[in-house]
Structure 1
Amino acid sequence: MLRIVCLCVILGIALSAKPEVGSPHCVSVLATNCSTYSPEPVCAFDGQTHVTYQNSCEFAKGICTHHGHSLHAVHEGPCDPATDTP
């Protein structure tokens, strides 16, 4: 049940514009233990660089901690330096 709640919170943050670090959503996500999630990499882009997150939980934490930059998922799987260029 807790895993479903965490997933809903993560999806809510991922779909919202720019959550603030101190918002209730970010507080909850930042407290989540992402090691319990399957290793399903997400390639993301912050407007400057591509970053591979180990799973959707780590990506959601990245959204909450990316001050001043919008972080967007580019595709599932790790980023590929040959094809994922700014």
Structure 2
Amino acid sequence: MQKPTLGRIVHYRGKQGYQAARAAIVTATEETLDPRGVEAGHVPALTDDTHVHLWVYSPGDSGGFAEYNVAPGRPDDPLTQATAANIPPGTWCWPPRI
């Protein structure tokens, strides 16, 4: 799996409601997260180098929301390309190649 990097666009599957697919941007990775902010309690830690913090874009009035320590999603069938429609709720994946 390609390692996530700061500023990359990913797809996120919501963990509540209709679990809708949303566009999101990576706002922190293990490499970019300031440990002082984690120690001070201002930002949650990341579990490993595949987990990310995201800003999830929403078509509603709020415009979006933050999600923290989000794991990559994988479909049940390992031969199937991950999409926001087939990953578990509350996870991210790379946009499909067109």
TM bucket (normalised to shorter chain) is under 0.3
TM-score of the aligned structures, taking structure 1 as reference length: 0.25
Higher helix share: 1
TM-score of the aligned structures, taking structure 2 as reference length: 0.24
Higher strand share: 2
Please identify the structure whose Cα radius of gyration is greater. 2
